[in-house]
Structure formats: C-alpha cells, structure tokens
Chains A and B, each alone.
Chain A
Amino acid sequence: MSSTLDVEAPATDPRDEPPARHRSSGDVARTVVRGISQTLITLGLVALLFVVYQLWVTDLLAARAQDRLTEQLQDQWAGSPALDTPGATDPTEGTPPADGSAPPTHTPAPIEAGIGDPFAILHIPRLGDDYARVVVQGSSEVQLEQGPGHYVDTAMPGEQGNFSVAGHRVGRGSPFLDLDRMRPGDAIVVETADSWFVYRVLGDPATGEFTGDPTGIPGREVVRPSQVSVIAPTPGGGEPTGAYLTLTTCHPRYSAAQRLILHARLDGAPISKAAAPDGPAALAG
C-alpha cells in the first residue's frame, strides 16, 4: 500500500485527494473557523498596511510632488518679467538708487495662478531653518496631496484680506504637523516671484498668550470644521481691515473632529527680492 502510493503520487500533496469518507461535522466547523480567522488576520494586516501607507508612503509621494513643484516654480520665476528689473540681474553690485532718494517702495506684481499651479513658497523658521513648502492654488484633496493649498476665494500674499492656506497635519508630507509649536510673534515668510512677505502670528510674544491683539483676533484657535469665518477677509468676519494670513489643519492629530487655526498679520512692507535675494532677516530666525 505504502509502496504503491510512493510510486504513483510522489509529488502530489495528499490533501489534493478528497478523502473518501464522508466529511464529519467537526471538519466543517474547523474549516469555517479557519476561514473566519484567516479573514480577520487578513483584515488586520490590511489595516496595518493602511497605517504604513498613510504615515510613510504618502510622505514619499508628497515629497516627490514638492520636488516637481519647486522645479516648476523656479522655472516659472526664472522666466518671470518681474525679476528683470534693474539690479535684479546683478545683485552683487547692490547699488542704492542713484538719484539719492529713499529706496522706492516695492510694489509686488499681482499674482495669477490657475487651479493646481504653484505660486508661492511658505517658510516657517520655527518649524526648521530649511522649512519650505510650495503652496499650490486650490484647497481640494488633489491639490493638498502635493502641498499646502490656497483657498481660492481668499486674498493672495500681501494683499488686503486673508491669505488662507490649508495643509495636512499627518501624512502627505505632514506640512502642518507641528503647527501647535508656533508661538505669538513667530514669523511666517511667504516668498513669491518678486517679493518676500513677513507675517507674524498674532498674540503677545512676551507672555506667550495668543489673545490680546487689539483687533481681538486670536493668534491660534481650535474651531469646528464648519466655521468658515476663520478665513474671512478679516478673520472672524467682516470687511478687510488689514493683510492677514491664516493656516488651517486638522486637530487633534490623526483626527478630523476639529480644525487648528493660526492667524498672522503682515509685518512691514513687502520686500523686493531684488533687494534681498536671500530673504528678509526674519527668515534667519
């Protein structure tokens, strides 16, 4: 018997042959339990894989998108007529205006960007000396996959109104992961084709309180997702009364129950890139 089996079916798994005897109810129960447990283990592994995807794979994808956008933006800016002003082509000379007048006030060129186009770089020294993220136009998921996205209906950098940007807290490069580390008075520097704009988080830098700005606008707040007034021309609502910047992200981390909001106001006049090719002093810390 055993010799016959060895000769006839040496490579065949014995389980391939259905057992001749009738399956007992114990076998059926075992098969069902095994099937359920395997399904559960599989679901667990898929859930773990999703965490890996959310925390690391999306970071890789976003980093690639940011690299591409940076290149696109540099090309765009290199060909921008705004930089072809005298002095911009030869910044090493750095001669002040020859007519002896005070440096002319720099008027930034208006920015136009189609949905999905990069148009500015966000520098936040508090989040790292080399923290720089390309901002794209539009705040739907497609744009936010690539980097911080600008709410289309809000002001552009430097304009009167509220330059509002949304960004992911966790995953997709986590651009706004550490937004809760921002303190009152911290600089948020926005770089455009021809200008630097320095915004400062509202609040009292001496005490670290986010409240206390004369306008009553807090530097940081946590709101319901439906509270769109945080990106109104004047945060909280009302007509434009100044040039503000608002960042929105989810809160708490790994959740979408609330939104963490940062408000900042433009600090000083826009700085021409021709005058400061390496950025304003605020960028250094």
Chain B
Amino acid sequence: MYGWIWRHLPGGAALRTAQALVLVLAVVALLLFVVFPWVEPRLPFTSVTVGS
C-alpha cells in the first residue's frame, strides 16, 4: 500500500518525501479532528454519569 502510493507520487525523492509528509499530516488531522471525536462517545471509556 505504502509502496504503491510512493510509486504514484510524482517527482524526485525530495519532492515525494514532502508530499508523503503532507499526506501523513492530513491523515493525522482527519483522525484527530473528525474521526476520533466521532468515535469517542461510541466507546465505553468515557462514561462518567450514573443513569440507565
């Protein structure tokens, strides 16, 4: 998967590294600010209230 992405990025090694870094940061941001906030209330770790 990572090899496939690497091969499909244009440019030389330096340019590809920069693009790969941007892709990684984009995925991290997507996880931190969209996916995790959505997933969190559905997981059982964060319940602090009493109730049925």
B15 to chain A, nearest CB (A): 11
**CB atoms of B46 and A168 under 8 A apart:** yes
Q: Determine whether A276 belongs to the interface, using a CB cutoff of 8 Å to chain B.
A: no
Q: Kindly state the separation between the CA atoms of A249 and B41 in the bound complex, as whole angstroms.
A: 15
Main SS at interface, chain A: mixed
Q: Which of A18-62 contact B (CB under 8 A)?
A: 34-35, 38-39, 42, 46, 49-50, 53-54, 57-58
Among A38, A39, A259, contact of B48 (Cβ-Cβ < 8 Å): A259
Please, how many residues of chain B have a CB less than 8 angstroms from a CB on the other chain? 21
- Residue A70 lies at the interface, judged by CB distance under 8 Å to chain B: no
Are A250 and B47 neighbours in the complex by a CB distance under 8 Å?
yes
Partner of A225, one of B36, B39, B41, B47: B47
A255 adjacent to B50 (CB under 8 Å): no
B31 touches A168 (CB 8 A): no
What's the least CB distance linking B2 to chain A, in Å? 6
> DSSP class of B's interface residues: helix, strand, loop or mixed?
helix
Provided the pairs A11-B12, A39-B1 are in contact, do residues A54 and B47 lie with their beta carbons within 8 angstroms?
no
Indicate if the CB atoms of A144 and B48 lie closer than 8 Å.
yes
Contact A248 B50 (CB under 8 A): yes
A13 to B40, CA, bound (A): 42
A256 and B46: CB pair below 8 A? yes
Of chain B, the residue at the smallest CB distance from A257 is B44
A-side contacts of B39, CB under 8 Å: 50
Interface string of B26-48 (1 = CB under 8 A from A): 00100110001001110011111
Q: Are A141 and B46 in contact (CB under 8 A)?
A: yes
The verdict on A223 contacting B50 (CB below 8 Å), with A13-B7, A35-B1 known, is yes
Contact A226 B50, beta carbon cutoff 8 Å: yes
Q: In the complex, what residue of chain B is closest to A169 when comparing beta carbons? A: B48
Q: Which residue in chain A gives the minimum CB-CB distance to B2?
A: A38
Q: Which of A101-109, A210-218, A227-235 contacts B (4 or more CB under 8 A)?
A: A227-235
Tell me which residues across on chain B come within 8 A of A11, comparing CB atoms.
12
CB-based contact B36/A50 at 8 Å: yes
List 4 tightest A-B contacts by C-beta distance, closest first. Answer: A256-B47, A166-B49, A53-B36, A249-B48
B positions within 8 Å CB-CB of A: 1-3, 7, 12, 28, 31-32, 36, 39-41, 44-52
16 contacts between A and B (CB under 8 A): A16-B7, A49-B36, A50-B36, A53-B36, A54-B45, A149-B49, A171-B46, A225-B50, A225-B51, A226-B50, A226-B52, A231-B50, A249-B48, A250-B46, A256-B44, A256-B45
